[in-house]
Structure 1
Amino acid sequence: MRRRAAQSAVTVQVFYLERWKQKMIVELGKDGFEEYTKNIFLQGELFHSALESVFLCEEIATKEKSKDGVISGYLSSVEHVLEDISEVKALESGVYHETLQYLGLVDCVAKYRGQLCVIDWKTSEKPKPFLKNTYDNPLQVAAYVGAINHDANYDFQVCCGLIVVAYKNGSPAHPHFMDPDLCLQYWNKWLLRLEEYMDRN
């Protein structure tokens, strides 16, 4: 029953990917967009894999570290943020909000400066020093917070979020902390967005 419901549920990413995709196709053309996304997803995959190794206290494979320097800059970028992260509770973990029928994959749940957060790792070639520069990412984090708090698979509650924007050139990442009030604001926006999506489909 739960599996069938999950298969029919809306994924959080659906809202954001389609809008971004159309914008990029206009800018790069279809072929250019396909090449761009292939490289971006490869970098993102390697970066997330390397972070998972760090949190699991494993040594990052030398091959992975030096592979054309693809992720070395990103890892250098987040070093100062990693110092403030402790007590990892979940990594690359599926979440499902049964009542609202949506699901997603959370990058990380851990404490940031003592506050339990849903942590979303982002890579960027452009500086994103302010939360508003992260577009819909805060909505995504709020959606994950809501899903975790309504998913019986998790025996804890989360009320904060953290979006970490890492840079390819190794410059210090921008961590954007979302306190409970801010998460609640974005949660309410997410509910409106979800309602609009459901009305259209």
Structure 2
Amino acid sequence: MKVRVLRDIFSQGKRFHEALESILSPQENLKERDEKHLQCGYIESIQHILKDISGVLALESAVHHETLKYTGLLDCVAEYQGKLCVIDWKTSEKPKPFLRNTYDNPLQIVAYMGAINHDANYSFQVQCGLIVVAYKDGSPAHPHFMDAELCSQYWVKWLLRLEEYTEKKKNQNIQKPD
């Protein structure tokens, strides 16, 4: 039962991200976009936020931080209310009105920012983040904007987490028998 629930959640999240990619893609006709995706509760949930999104620079894009040796696949880089942000789209059954309700998602945002800012494949720098929590029932999504100062604080936490992980992995490799 648990595996099925997880599979359903993953499938819903995947469909939500596919719909978002279609919506935010510059090739999509705006009228077709709205008609095609409005029936989805998650998309309905984020309508008020989409009005503040412009200047999409990256969608579902791989990033790599060569120095710190990690990679990721970010959802979106675009302007939110005029500020360039790494945007992470999340779905939730429960309301998450505060940033603290998103648990480790801010660390994910700053990890993507660090990677994109050190990846030669990208010609821009990002200083802000946005976590958008969308709801299946269509109720208004919660946007959690992270300014440059807040991102700097989370970057320190991310580096500590990465160091712990690297140390743990190194210790596991030492303990493995030949």
Q: TM-score, normalised by structure 1?
A: 0.79
Q: For the Cα contact (< 8 Å) 1:50–1:60, is it kept in 2?
A: no
Please report how far the alpha carbon of residue 167 of structure 1 lies from its aligned counterpart in structure 2 after TM superposition: 0.3
Please report how far the alpha carbon of residue 60 of structure 1 lies from its aligned counterpart in structure 2 after TM superposition: 4.7
CA distance in 1, matches of 2:3, 2:33: 29
Query: Structure 2 matches for 1:139-158, cutoff 5 A?
Result: 139-158=107-126
Q: Deviations over 1:73-109 (max 9, x none)?
A: 1000000000000000000000000000000000000
What residue is the counterpart of 2:146 in the other structure? 178
CA distance in 2, matches of 1:55, 1:193: 32
Residue of structure 1 aligned with 2:55, choices 58, 67, 87? 87
Q: CA RMSD in A?
A: 1.6
| Number of matched pairs | 165
One-letter amino acid of the structure 2 residue matched with residue 53 of structure 1: S
Residue of structure 2 aligned with 1:76, choices 38, 44, 47? 44
CA distance in 2, matches of 1:156, 1:138: 20
Please report how far the alpha carbon of residue 65 of structure 1 lies from its aligned counterpart in structure 2 after TM superposition: 4.5
Residue of structure 2 aligned with 1:160, choices 128, 135, 153? 128
CA distance in 1, matches of 2:123, 2:165: 30
Q: TM-score, normalised by structure 2?
A: 0.89
Higher helix share: 1
Identity %: 66
One-letter amino acid of the structure 2 residue matched with residue 122 of structure 1: K
One-letter amino acid of the structure 2 residue matched with residue 161 of structure 1: G
Establish whether residue 33 from structure 1 lines up as the match of residue 2 from structure 2.
yes
What residue is the counterpart of 1:47 in the other structure? 16
CA distance in 2, matches of 1:101, 1:195: 11
* 5+ residue gaps, structure 2: 170-178
One-letter amino acid of the structure 2 residue matched with residue 166 of structure 1: A
Query: Structure 2 matches for 1:118-129, cutoff 5 A?
Result: 118-129=86-97
What residue is the counterpart of 1:3 in the other structure? none
Q: For the Cα contact (< 8 Å) 1:121–1:164, is it kept in 2?
A: yes
CA distance in 2, matches of 1:165, 1:65: 17
Q: For the Cα contact (< 8 Å) 1:162–1:175, is it kept in 2?
A: yes
Please report how far the alpha carbon of residue 37 of structure 1 lies from its aligned counterpart in structure 2 after TM superposition: 1.4
CA distance in 2, matches of 1:146, 1:126: 29
CA distance in 1, matches of 2:168, 2:24: 40
Q: For the Cα contact (< 8 Å) 1:165–1:173, is it kept in 2?
A: yes
Q: Which runs of 4+ in 1 moved over 4 A?
A: none
Query: Structure 2 matches for 1:85-124, cutoff 5 A?
Result: 85-124=53-92
CA distance in 1, matches of 2:60, 2:126: 16
CA distance in 1, matches of 2:81, 2:104: 24
